[in-house]
């Protein structure tokens, strides 16, 4: 039999194409397979509206986020997606709260909490109760905030994702209701929990500092406010930074450190004003 020899250059070319030849059967099989099934139109529209709303919220486009979440909610309700609808109503409460319409935010949360039938998941009820208590506390409606937090505490027990946030808020309510000692103990416990996360640790430190103020311990108060400030700076939370600096100014003033107090106070004014101007509307 006659043997044929390819020149070296041709041998090299075949070697280059060998991986493609090996892959060819799989590629042909893929070409012949059926395309992935598309989602039904309403489901896809709900998913896209929710995705767009979350993106707008991240970008500070609050009115667009509000519109897209409302669109997603209508679609989710038309599909009997009660879990998705509950999450979207909580997100609408978040948006309206950031738009400084707290009554509307509370109304969204109450649509979950006041529903007579048990159609929403327990985790949604827990989150809605916690968010409602936070808003009521911010509004100084303490007689309503405490009872609003209780369902969240019961649903959470000793372990849930919001446990440390719930404890930090309970510590804040204790402080606002005049029990500085109990507030300090609970806030310090949360601030030492690594699992609490930096934001809740900073919240707890701020409560602990304010409790130390009430107990006439300005040295400890200043230390706690300084620790909270470092965390809030790392988190980029302008409004909280302003609170920390104002707290430091009060503590420094109580210690007779008038120059330091004036500097902290001035920094707080600049931070709060800049944060107000840059806040999304």
pLDDT at 1 over 50: no
Burial 123-149, CB ≥16 within 10 A → b, else e: bbbbbbbbbbbbbbbeeeeeeebbebb
> What is the rounded average pLDDT of the residues 246-254?
97
For the chain, the average pLDDT equals 88
pLDDT in tens, 4-44: 333 444 343 444 444 444 444 444 444 555 555 666 888 99
- What is the per-residue pLDDT for 13? 45
pLDDT in tens, 162-218: 999 999 999 999 999 999 999 999 999 999 998 899 999 999 999 999 999 999 999
Instruction: Write out the DSSP string of 233-267.
Output: HHHT-HHHHHHHHHHHHHHHHHTT-HHHHHHHHHH
Tell me the pTM.
Answer: 0.81
What are the structural domains of the chain? Answer: 43-157 (1.25.40.10)
pLDDT in tens, 45-76: 999 999 999 999 999 899 999 999 999 999 99
Percent of the chain topping pLDDT 70: 85
């Amino acid at each position: 039999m006659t043997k044929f020899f390819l020149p070296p250059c041709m041998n090299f070319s075949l070697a280059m194409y060998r991986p493609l030849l090996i892959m060819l059967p799989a590629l042909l099989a893929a070409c012949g397979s059926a395309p992935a099934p598309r989602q039904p139109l309403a489901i896809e529209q709900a998913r896209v509206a929710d995705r767009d709303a979350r993106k707008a919220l991240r970008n500070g486009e609050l009115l667009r986020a509000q519109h897209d979440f409302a669109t997603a909610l209508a679609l989710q309700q038309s599909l009997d997606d009660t879990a998705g609808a509950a999450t979207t109503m909580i997100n609408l409460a978040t948006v309206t709260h950031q738009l400084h319409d707290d009554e509307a935010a509370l109304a969204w949360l109450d649509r979950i909490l006041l529903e007579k039938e048990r159609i929403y998941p327990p985790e949604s009820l827990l989150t809605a109760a916690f968010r409602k208590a936070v808003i009521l506390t911010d509004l100084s409606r303490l007689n309503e905030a405490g009872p609003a937090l209780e369902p969240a505490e019961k649903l959470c027990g000793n372990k849930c994702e919001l446990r440390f946030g719930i404890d930090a808020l309970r510590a804040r309510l204790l402080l606002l209701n005049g029990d500085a000692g109990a507030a300090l103990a609970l806030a310090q416990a949360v601030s030492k929990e690594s699992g609490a996360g930096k934001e809740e640790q900073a919240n707890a430190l701020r409560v602990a500092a304010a409790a130390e103020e009430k107990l006439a311990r300005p040295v400890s108060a200043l230390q706690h406010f300084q620790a909270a400030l470092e965390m809030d700076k790392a988190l980029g939370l302008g409004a909280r930074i302003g609170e920390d600096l104002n707290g430091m100014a009060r503590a420094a003033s109580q210690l007779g450190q008038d120059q330091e107090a004036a500097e902290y106070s001035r920094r707080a004014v600049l931070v709060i004003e800049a944060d107000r101007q840059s806040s999304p509307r």
